[in-house]
């Protein structure tokens, strides 16, 4: 469904600061895949998702979504079929607009926006139900401004926004990294629930190896702009953190740096 | 005193239409648009030259508004397609408009004292002379306010607000933020030009220098309104802008009565805006030093 062929991204090409961030990436994602992506700092994980979302153009290669070449489709057009949640809880919502207004914006993601009212009671009822499912108590605060919400509440809201209209692809960039552990767990559970319930094809970056192993059906590890590991199926189900570290060291030909990647409980 | 109130109300409303335009760019779009210093006299120039030559003043208002929309469009294109910063885009359009306005008028000022303005027509419909300005301005300003409130609650209105509030989120939801910026700037400058066209007929002349300081006056209105009434809802914020415009004109009227020269007013306004702009910052500073550092 999503296919990257020879995708290369170079920042500051032709200057002393030239930085090849994605090196000839080939990746084939199947319908319904839930892929967790891990890798050290600067490995190019965020850039990979940004390139798929169209935030910046690629230098080489093509990106196909459902067989359509989207390499040159602008970001806002790709947004019609790609949902995103960012690490920064501030990024995914419009803070001085209300919860219901934020949701109403997401509701029109795939449609032509017109001079019809952005909200009506039928929509409000629908939003209320969606919010109630999250168990965060937001369903009674439809007309609260989003800036009044906590980081966790905002991430939950962003997740609903990103999946309001079922996207072909959901991109999650460390969307629980800024949250405290219990809120992170809550958002992770919500993520799994939404993704599995709707069968959304998902790419999720995480710094938590345990989450990466536990969640999803496929795990990709990146290093220095390349995909160095791609584990799926039963190999992934039986994977342990220790094994993963070992595989990293073998593939990357260097010691594993624990600085930022959280190992979780080492088994 | 009654006279001062009425005059301030008239001025507050007619300039309030301009302030609503400034509200769109500064508050909704978060775009510091200086085009208004050029689009205000643009509206005045287009309308007054038409009226001076015997044209229909209602048509003149429409054309003035259209000219303002075009000016806003140009700033929008410079910013989004030309990748020029918002501030500079506005300055460029404003500067170009100075020459254009002179071209349109053909001279530095046009007097309308002997022409049939929109007010002549309304008086002929039987509105007594002393109420004609107030009547028209109340209806126009509030009609525009209500239309703007409604627009900002439509799907497109939401998209416009999201573009100003969080462009990243807007794009992630399929909104073309460039288009929205151009739309917002056009709307805003259309209103500013309409205001200019009405002001020219109200004061009986258009002058090439009448746009200087428009943006500061508009900002002053938006900020004063916000300080007085807050901005909890859109309906409230637009009303506050009109209210702020009235208070602003009233304070200028009072300043004039206190013996300030008309030429000192720009300085006074600027000081007023600086105080208004820095008050919340000073307040925040005091608060944040006593608790934790705010971001
Ligand atoms: N917009 C940009 N302009 C220039 N360089 C960039 C830009 N974005 C990222 N980079 C560089 O690209 C490299 C990869 O960045 P990227 O954000 O993709 O890494 P990451 O794997 O997501 O790392 P992290 O774990 O820290 O989030 C880094 O060296 C970064 O400095
Ligand atoms: Mg990253």
For residue range B3-61, list pLDDT tens digits in order: 899 999 999 999 999 999 999 999 999 999 999 999 999 999 999 999 999 999 999 99
B172: Cβ–Cβ under 8 A, 6 or more apart, which residues?
Answer: A53, A79, A83, A84, A92, A162
Of residues A41 and B282, the one with the higher pLDDT is A41
Q: Distance (Å) from the C-alpha of residue A107 to the closest C-alpha of chain B?
A: 9
Tell me the ligand closest to A40's alpha carbon: 1
B295 touches chain A (CB under 8 A): no
Mean local confidence (pLDDT), B206-234: 92
State the Cα angle at B23 between B20 and B24, rounded to 5°.
95
Give the pLDDT of residue A266.
42
Contact check, Cβ <8 Å, B162/A77: no
Q: Is the separation of the CB atoms in A7 and A17 below 8 Å? A: no
pLDDT at B286 exceeding the cut of 90: no
pLDDT at B288 exceeding the cut of 60: no
Distance, CA of A263 to CA of A208 (rounded, Å): 6
Give the pLDDT of residue B289.
53
Give the pLDDT of residue B85.
96
Tell me the residue range of the domain where A52 lies: 2-95+170-253
Categorise residue B127: left if φ over 0, alpha if ψ from -120 to 50, beta otherwise: beta
Contact check, Cβ <8 Å, B174/A115: no
Q: Distance (Å) from the C-alpha of residue B184 to the closest C-alpha of chain A?
A: 14
B221 C-alpha vs ligand 2 centroid, how far in Å?
43
The domain that holds A191 is classified in CATH as 3.40.50.300
Average pLDDT over chain B reads 93
**Residue A259 covered by a domain:** no
- Radius of gyration (C-alpha) of chain B in whole angstroms: 19
A207: Cβ–Cβ under 8 A, 6 or more apart, which residues?
Answer: A38, A174, A177, A260, A261, A262
B158: chain A residues, CB-CB within 8 Å: 97, 101, 104-105, 108, 113, 118
Distance, CA of B137 to CA of B11 (rounded, Å): 9
Going by alpha carbons, the residue nearest to atom 3 of ligand 1 is A11
Tell me the ligand closest to A261's alpha carbon: 1
Q: Is the separation of the CB atoms in A49 and A78 below 8 Å? A: no
**Atom number in ligand 1 closest to CA A45:** 21
| Nearest residue to A109 via CA among B175, B76, B5 | B175
Which of the residues in chain A have pLDDT under 50?
Answer: 265-267
Ligand 1 environment, Cβ below 6 A? A 11, 19, 21, 39, 41-47
B158 touches chain A (CB under 8 A): yes
**Residue A107 covered by a domain:** no
A94: chain B residues, CB-CB within 8 Å: 161-162, 165-166, 169-170
pLDDT at B256 exceeding the cut of 50: yes
A17 C-alpha vs ligand 2 centroid, how far in Å?
19
* Residue among A79, A91, A96 minimizing CB distance to B173: A79
- How is residue B295 written in tokens? 């971001």
Q: Distance (Å) from the C-alpha of residue A234 to the closest C-alpha of chain B?
A: 34
Give the pLDDT of residue A252.
78
**Residue A234 covered by a domain:** yes
Distance, CA of B91 to CA of A107 (rounded, Å): 37
Give the pLDDT of residue B285.
61
Q: Between chain A and chain B, how many beta carbons pairs sit less than 8 Å apart?
A: 85
**Atom number in ligand 1 closest to CA A48:** 18
Burial bucket for residue A217 (CB in 10 Å: 0-12, 13-18, 19+): middle
Output the CA–CA distances (angstroms, integers) from residue B193 to A199, A255, B47, in the order listed: 52, 66, 9
Give the pLDDT of residue B278.
80
Distance, CA of A154 to CA of B195 (rounded, Å): 41
β-strand pairing of B109-111 with B205-207:
antiparallel
pLDDT single digits (tens) A245-262: 888 888 877 777 665 566
Give the pLDDT of residue A260.
57
Q: Is the separation of the CB atoms in A113 and B155 below 8 Å? A: yes
Residue A99: CA atoms inside 13 Å, Cβ hemisphere, count? 26
Substitution target in A89, A117, A118, A123 with the highest count of B β-carbons within 10 Å is A118
β-strand pairing of A201-205 with A169-173:
parallel
Mean local confidence (pLDDT), B158-163: 98
Which DSSP helix (H) or strand (E) runs through B156? helix B155-165
Give the pLDDT of residue A251.
81
Neighbouring CB atoms inside 10 A of B31's CB total 23
Of residues B285 and B180, the one with the higher pLDDT is B180
pLDDT at B66 exceeding the cut of 50: yes
Q: Is the separation of the CB atoms in B268 and B22 below 8 Å? A: no
A79 touches chain B (CB under 8 A): yes
Domain count, chain A: 1
Give the pLDDT of residue A263.
62
Distance, CA of B220 to CA of A142 (rounded, Å): 33
- How is residue B16 written in tokens? 């309030």
Residue by residue, DSSP assigns A146-161 as GGGS-HHHHHHHHHHH
Q: Is the separation of the CB atoms in A92 and A162 below 8 Å? A: yes
């Amino acid at each position: 469904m999503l296919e990257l062929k020879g995708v290369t991204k170079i920042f500051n090409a032709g200057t002393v600061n030239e930085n090849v961030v994605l090196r000839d990436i080939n990746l084939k994602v199947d319908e319904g895949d839930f892929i967790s992506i891990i890798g050290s700092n600067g490995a190019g994980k965020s850039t990979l998702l940004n390139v798929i979302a169209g935030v910046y153009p690629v230098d080489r290669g093509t990106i196909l979504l459902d067989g359509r070449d989207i390499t040159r489709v602008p970001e806002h057009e790709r947004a019609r079929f790609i949902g995103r949640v960012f690490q920064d809880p501030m990024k995914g919502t419009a803070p001085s607009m209300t919860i219901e207004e934020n949701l109403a914006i997401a509701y029109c993601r795939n449609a032509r926006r017109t001079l019809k009212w952005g909200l009506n009671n039928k929509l409000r009822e629908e939003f209320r139900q969606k919010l109630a499912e999250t168990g965060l108590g937001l369903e009674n605060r439809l007309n609260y401004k989003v800036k009044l919400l906590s980081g966790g509440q905002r991430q939950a809201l962003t997740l609903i926004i990103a999946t309001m209209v079922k996207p072909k692809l959901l991109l999650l960039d460390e969307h629980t990294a800024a949250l405290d552990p219990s809120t992170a767990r809550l958002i992770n559970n919500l993520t799994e629930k939404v993704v599995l319930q709707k069968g959304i094809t998902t790419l999720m970056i995480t710094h938590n190896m345990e989450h990466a192993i536990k969640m999803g059906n496929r795990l990709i590890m990146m290093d220095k702009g390349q995909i160095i590991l791609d584990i799926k199926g039963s190999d992934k189900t039986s994977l342990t953190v220790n094994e993963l570290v070992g595989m990293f060291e073998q593939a990357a030909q260097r010691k594993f740096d624990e600085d930022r990647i959280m190992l979780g409980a080492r088994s | 005193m009654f006279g001062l109130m009425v005059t301030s109300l008239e001025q507050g409303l007619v300039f309030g239409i301009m302030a609503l335009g400034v509200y769109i760019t500064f508050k909704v779009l978060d775009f510091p648009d200086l085009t208004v210093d050029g689009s205000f006299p643009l509206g005045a120039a287009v309308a007054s030259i038409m009226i001076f030559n015997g044209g229909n003043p209602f048509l003149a208002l429409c054309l003035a508004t259209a000219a303002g929309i075009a000016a806003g469009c140009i700033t929008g294109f410079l910013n989004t397609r030309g990748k020029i910063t918002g501030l500079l885009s506005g300055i460029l359009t404003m500067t170009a408009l100075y020459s254009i306005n002179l071209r349109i008028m053909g001279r530095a000022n046009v007097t309308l004292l002997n022409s049939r303005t929109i007010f002549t027509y309304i008086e002929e419909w039987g509105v007594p002379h002393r109420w004609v300005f107030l009547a028209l301005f109340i209806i126009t300003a509030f009609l525009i306010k209500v239309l703007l409130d409604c627009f900002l609650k439509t799907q497109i209105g939401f998209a416009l607000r999201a573009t100003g509030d969080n462009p990243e989120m807007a794009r992630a939801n399929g909104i073309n933020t460039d288009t929205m910026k151009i739309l917002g700037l056009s709307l805003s400058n259309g209103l500013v030009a309409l205001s200019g066209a009405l002001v020219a007929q109200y004061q009986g002349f258009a002058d090439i220098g009448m746009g200087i300081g428009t943006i500061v006056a508009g900002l002053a209105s938006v900020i004063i309104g916000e300080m007085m009434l807050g901005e909890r809802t859109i309906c409230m914020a637009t009303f506050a802008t009109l209210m702020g415009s009235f208070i602003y004109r009233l304070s200028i009227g009072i300043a004039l009565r206190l013996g300030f020269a008309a030429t000192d007013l720009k300085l006074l306004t600027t000081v007023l805006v600086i105080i208004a702009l820095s008050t919340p910052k000073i307040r925040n500073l005091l608060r944040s030093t006593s608790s934790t550092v705010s971001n």
